[in-house]
Structure 1
Amino acid sequence: MNQAKIKNILLAAGAMNIGAVLLFSRFFTNSVINEADPVVMSNFGLVMIVVWGFAYLGAATVNANIKYIAGAFALEKLVYVVVWVHWISTNALAPVYEADLMAGVFFTIYGINDLAFMVLFFMIFKSKFDIKSDR
């Protein structure tokens, strides 16, 4: 995978983490998100998702081989996907939507978004082991 594609993936991941959290949490004032998952999606948890977004943006500026950083990012996304699958399978979305549309949408899509970026980060990680892929 070439450097321009890697940079665009990292920029998109950063923008999604930062932008989605700020939008759906209404700049950390949407208590429905906190109440629906008080451990992972507390305001502290949401701030940490934003911090990961800044880490992705920072990694986008690196022009060296970032295979192990991309691997770490893939693992981080895997954790959120597993947490989301568990949450979706043990909670009902309807009450969240009834309490707040933005919170409902957030819980509907965040795991899918993380799965997509997990795959992309894994592709970056894997591609860096294949010298031909950098051409």
Structure 2
Amino acid sequence: MILKNTTITRGFILAGLMNASVLIFSRFFTNSTIPEFDPEVMSNFGLLMILIWGLAYISVARNYDKVKWLVGIFVIEKVIYGYIWINWMLNNSVSDVFEKDVMAGLYYSIYGINDWVFSIFFLWVFVQLAKGKKTV
């Protein structure tokens, strides 16, 4: 499957905007419920780093073909967050989060799905770049 350069660029931008949505869910880092339920990964510092990763995706959106190995790193990063989310979901109750704060509950419900979807997108782009396939 060949995707147009513009479609891939939009994918990188969308990935970045999805990460930036952490600002909404965390109410600009003032929502204490998100860090409360996973203080190791989802501290305010952790949420800030999620925003920074998003900015990194956007920064390469138009030049992703020049940074193949960085795209590979994006795959690894997304898989790690996806794994952390699955682990969290297996050992915690998202309904407990919803009871305390709806925005935090929504965040915990969807962030891992987002990470898995974009890990697949980044992997697809990385494989295409590794094969030397040109996009149009």
TM-score class, shorter-chain normalisation, is over 0.9
The equivalent residue for 1:94 is: 95
The equivalent residue for 1:75 is: 76
- Greater mean deviation of Cα atoms: 1-10 or 20-29: 1-10
TM-score normalised per structure 1: 0.93
Percent identity between matched residues is: 43
* Structure 2 unaligned regions, length at least 5: none
RMSD of aligned C-alpha atoms?
Answer: 1.4
* Structure 1 unaligned regions, length at least 5: none
Q: Deviations over 1:66-103 (max 9, x none)?
A: 32111110100000001001000000111100000000
Cα contact 1:3–1:63 (8 A) shared by 2: no
1:17-56 to 2 correspondence within 5 Å?
Answer: 17-18=19-20, 20-56=21-57
Question: Deviation above 4 Å: which 4+ runs of structure 1?
Answer: none
TM-score normalised per structure 2: 0.92
Measure how far apart 1:63 and its partner are. 6.1
SS in 2 for 1:41: coil
Aligned residues: 134
The equivalent residue for 1:122 is: 123
Residue 7 (structure 2) aligned to one of 5, 8, 11: 5
Change (3 A) 1:64 1:81: closer
